[in-house]
Amino acid sequence: MLKLLGAVMVMTGAFALGFQARRSLADRVSELELLLWETGRLRARIGGCGLSLEDCFAESGLFAPAAEGLRAGLTPGEAVLSCGIKAEGLSLFAQGLEAETVEGQLQNIDVFSRRLEVELAAAREDLAKKGRLYMGLGALGGAAVCVILV
């Protein structure tokens, strides 16, 4: 009876590890979707409403720490990098926000948005391909350990 209980615990733990690995892929997709949505809002506020970067950042949930950085005297690029966002090309995006003109900032946001769309598509593909694989490997790994132990 104890062996059966131990086997169930090992299987559950191994499956949980696989599920956790899949969840990290799903979290990455969610982060990229949020970042893409926030950059779209940033573009609309700068281009459509004519707000300053500090005002746009202050109204944003994701870039809110950047508004505080701008108030503290950081450049727009340094302020964006201080938010702790993980994405390819973020440093180039941050540098591009230091453009003098609104048109330059909007072009930079468009380029970064296209790059995010590509990264998001790759993350979704990873989730679709690797997500089931990780869960299956967790279950099979747990089963293999149970066979060895029993």
Most confident among 20-34, 36-50, 63-77, 85-99 (mean pLDDT): 20-34
Residue 74 identity (one-letter amino acid): L
Contact by Cβ (8 Å): 38, 60: yes
Segment 129-143 shows an average pLDDT of 82
Nearest to 76 by CA among 46, 44, 37: 46
Task: For the chain, give the mean pLDDT.
Answer: 81
pLDDT at 124 (0 to 100): 93
pTM, 2 dp: 0.75
The Cα 97–Cα 25 span in angstroms is 29
Contact by Cβ (8 Å): 21, 138: yes
15-26 pLDDT, tens digit each: 788 888 888 889
Number of domain units in the chain: 1
Contact by Cβ (8 Å): 123, 25: yes
Q: Which two tokens stand for residue 141?
A: 């790994």
Q: DSSP assignment, residue 72?
A: T
- Using CA of residue 53, residue 56, residue 62, residue 68, what is the dihedral sign? positive
